[in-house]
Structure 1
């Protein structure tokens, strides 16, 4: 593998988080929390633009990494979890309970893949398919978390 190919896999694995044992998706979701902590004070516009940039980059990186690793949606690729988790955390207060709730909800929706995430996962190929099912999971988690926050914080 060339240096460029190694860099692509490194970024798609979110700096190696996807190489950690047992649950690479969960490690990827956890590994994005320091970035969220830094991004959380941004305006919703700047936060959203960051997600869009990561999504577009993630489509490219995950598609290339999938080809390089010769495995469809290889477990080491967790840039999709990074984007999905950032979506789930949009507007979340700096509160450990809500942060962990976001993580649990995102992982649940990412694993269960409710409509249309499951359809996207089976019908779309390459980087687009890898990324978009996690975008849907992130949106579902965001909706539930937002409702919880509004219910619990008057």
Structure 2
């Protein structure tokens, strides 16, 4: 939820992802002794925020665009959690790594995969809507 206000400020969202990712990478080996304990959540924060990059409103000043963006954020959360739990392909590969690479990497890639799905869906929807008119 902390990332939702950043939807209207893409540069701030990218900066926040960078800060959280660097802090998480640094802390991952130290706090959890290289294991991805359930109490370590900074990796999920970073991954979820990555998925929000595909949910940015087309017009941050248009309330309808912002509402659509919030709806997409719910989808982003669901997709991120699906990829984080099921661990397909590269998510599973990174999850098996020890240390910061495994702790942070699997969630960041799950976020990228969720963002990719949302971006693809938005492109298809835009194409379908434009071909009707």
Equivalent in the alignment of 1:117: 91
Specify which of 65, 69, 72 is matched with residue 98 of structure 1: 72
Change (3 A) 1:54 1:136: same
Task: Report SS of the residue matched to 1:40.
Answer: helix
1:55 aligns with 2:18: no
Deviates more, 1:93-102 or 1:82-91: 93-102
For residue 72 of structure 1, report the CA deviation from its aligned partner: 2.2
Q: C-alpha distance in 1, partners of 2:26/2:39? A: 15
Larger Rg computed on CA atoms: 2
Alignment partner of 1:129: what SS? Answer: helix
Instruction: Return the alpha-carbon distance in structure 2 between the equivalents of residues 81 and 147 of structure 1.
Output: 22
What are structure 1's unaligned runs of at least 5 residues? 1-32
- With the length of structure 2 as denominator, give the TM-score of the two structures: 0.77
Q: Which runs of 4+ in 1 moved over 6 A?
A: none
**1:85 matches 2:58:** no
* Residue in 2 that maps onto 1:74: 37
Structure 2: 5+ residue runs without aligned partners?
58-65
Distance (Å, rounded) in 1 between the aligned partners of 2:91 and 2:4: 27
